[in-house]
């Protein structure tokens, strides 16, 4: 089966991660419930994670280059130093997410919810207050 069309279950992905696998690139992971999962240092390059529940997940230093995270729930997720270059985050919920050191170049953040997210600019950490980039 073509890797791009392979759909993993949350149970299968977590099992493979626990066994040491870290490359989950170009997979269909849309809609998976990975709430509070520990998936740091993993590669999701080009994967479809649209509408996935990653609330509270540990995604530190993970790679999401070109991934589709549209509509994903990333509330309170640890995305410290994650690579989100070119990722689609339209309508994603990033409230209270830790984005310190995350690479967000060319990321699509249209209608993303970033209230109380933590970001680093230079050597300073900032918390986004109020409604940011939430057009109706």
Q: What is the pLDDT of residue 19?
A: 98
Kind of pairing between the strands at 124-127 and 118-121: antiparallel
What would the CATH number be for the domain defined by 26-136?
2.160.20.80
Q: What is the pLDDT of residue 127?
A: 75
Q: What is the mean pLDDT of each run of 10 residues along the chain (136 residues)?
A: 69 98 97 98 98 98 98 98 96 96 92 90 67 50
Kind of pairing between the strands at 98-99 and 124-127: unpaired
Token digits of residue 119: 């970001």
Q: What is the pLDDT of residue 22?
A: 98
Q: What is the pLDDT of residue 124?
A: 67
Q: What is the pLDDT of residue 3?
A: 46
Q: What is the pLDDT of residue 119?
A: 85
Delimit the domains of the chain by residue range: 26-136
Q: Alpha helices, DSSP H only, in the chain?
A: 10-18
What one-character-per-residue DSSP string does 52-65 give?
Answer: -B-TT-B-TT-B-T
């Amino acid at each position: 089966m073509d890797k791009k069309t392979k759909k993993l279950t949350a149970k299968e992905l977590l099992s493979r991660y626990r066994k040491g696998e870290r490359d989950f690139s170009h997979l269909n992971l849309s809609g998976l419930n990975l709430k509070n999962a520990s998936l740091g240092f993993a590669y999701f390059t080009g994967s479809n994670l649209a509408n996935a529940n990653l609330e509270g997940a540990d995604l530190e230093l993970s790679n999401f280059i070109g991934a589709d995270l549209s509509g994903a729930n990333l509330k309170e997720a640890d995305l410290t130093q994650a690579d989100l270059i070119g990722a689609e985050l339209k309508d994603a919920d990033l409230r209270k997410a830790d984005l310190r050191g995350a690479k967000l170049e060319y990321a699509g953040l249209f209608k993303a919810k970033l209230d109380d997210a933590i970001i680093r600019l230079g050597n300073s950490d900032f918390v986004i207050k109020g409604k940011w980039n939430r057009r109706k």
